Structure 1
């Protein structure tokens, strides 16, 4: 996977967008490799957490604007543009939606347009001090085509989301943390080590409980409170039958650190 690197470090899988000379802008090859990597993360029980980051000084600049301009000049029609999104770009958020394992994003530099939207898909987002964010679609007369208009207001509220979408202005890392766009800002050199430490902590935790909590949060966002309680009761029934639950309760009673097995 030359345009996308995929490696494992224990129970953590690391996906690295690897077109640093092009701002890690999407290509068809990168998108296909990205989906395959996510599918492997979903299917492989040994992978318990996933980290996404970018190579070089830019996290992701989203779609390749130069390619878009060439396509427009060549007469690419609305149907072709729509099909490019649904058949390629949208495969990433839809696959992420199937991933019930922790998905952490380490934003190592500028995240713009669809690149910012890809960062929004993380369960947790950590940013380098040099990171900055922009819903830059408006700068090229475009709209957010990769889920940003759905995800962003749910994270930072409608007025701030519309401000970012309508202006395309950059938001610095410190401001992103203040408005809840990222969980934490770190010195550039500490970004990936910190993100990996969090991922490793989650990967060594009670796997079933962690995955069920992610499902509960996601379903709760689209459920009534009684429905959420009913789902919670079902999850409690499942998790209480796991080896990790028995180990955790025994360790608590014995005043020792539990040794989770992920089952």
Structure 2
């Protein structure tokens, strides 16, 4: 089987394409988690990357966990402690890597995002959907709970009430319903999905890389910090930002009424 992720570059933008349409880009029973973790580590080290787009090959964004792979728990009669460790050392490494990635991430959702596939979109900062996309927190439909952090991720994307409705019913949302509840920020025609995602990524990548990473870190910390703690962190980051060449260039460009030329 081919690699799960196809990784390409356009300037300061990294494009991660899930490339196993034959499995509907399932996230388990393959090397998906390992590849995501490695890709996030590589992106973190490469300070020339200022934005990431996550999308998929084929008609499905991701079907989430491979249901056929779940049969193994029955046929091999695995004990609960073994299954627990498989989750901790498997799929749960994905949100730790992707959600905590310092670089802004845009999910370009081309088709159904189901179960862990939906949660994968919630690990990203911005979600753009094709009008062919549907979204379902469908774990309950196969008699399991969100094991990948979905119970933490989804309420932060759509609010507690909508997340509870989705998790308790397992029913799918259309792209327009996802837009209405704030799960995605825009819905576009399928042939406009990547052009829209790239245009947005270029706008992001046009800004200073170090400041983008610090800004994302503040947004992440703001989800779990007190205002006082976040203000302290913001003050420290701001002190760093004020001393960067890119800040000096931005101020001079503003005064001189010209476009800034930021470092690569």
Q: TM-score, normalised by structure 1?
A: 0.95
**Paired residues for 1:91-130 under 5 Å:** 91-130=93-132
Give the corresponding residue for 2:138. 136
User: Is the CA contact 2:99–2:124 (under 8 Å) kept in the aligned structure 1?
Assistant: no
User: Would you say the 8 A contact 2:113–2:134 is kept in 1?
Assistant: yes
Instruction: Give the corresponding residue for 2:26.
Output: 25
Task: Tell me the secondary structure at the aligned position of residue 7 of structure 1.
Answer: strand
**Which structure 1 residue ranges, 4+ long, deviate > 4 Å from structure 2?**
none
Contact 1:3 / 1:29 at 8 angstroms: preserved in 2? yes
Q: CA deviation at 1:145?
A: 0.6
Task: Assess if the C-alpha contact under 8 Å between 2:48 and 2:209 holds in 1.
Answer: no
Counterpart contact for 2:36–2:97, Cα < 8 Å: no
Of the three residues 162, 181, 184, the one matched with 1:182 is: 184
Aligned to 1:69, the other structure's residue is in SS state helix
Per-residue CA deviations over 1:10-45 (Å, capped at 9, x if unaligned) read 111111111102110123322212211111111112
Say how many residue pairs are matched.
Answer: 262
Partner of 1:15, secondary structure, is strand
Please give the secondary structure, in 2, of the residue aligned with 1:60. coil
Q: 2:203 aligns with which of 201, 222, 225?
A: 201
Counterpart of 2:158 in structure 1 is 156
Residue 2 of structure 1 contacts residue 18 of structure 1 at CA under 8 Å; is this kept in 2?
Answer: yes
The answer as to whether partners of 2:47 and 2:209 remain within 8 angstroms in 1 is no
Query: Could you tell me how far apart the structure 2 residues matched to 1:190 and 1:82 are?
Result: 41
CA distance in 1, matches of 2:4, 2:242: 43
2:52 to 50, 53, 57: 50
The answer for unaligned runs of 5 or more in structure 2 is none
Q: What RMSD, in angstroms, separates the aligned Cα atoms of the two structures? A: 1.4
CA contact (8 A) 1:28 1:88 kept: no
> What residue ranges of structure 1 are gaps of 5+ in the alignment?
none
Given the two structures, how large is their TM-score scaled by the length of structure 2?
A: 0.95
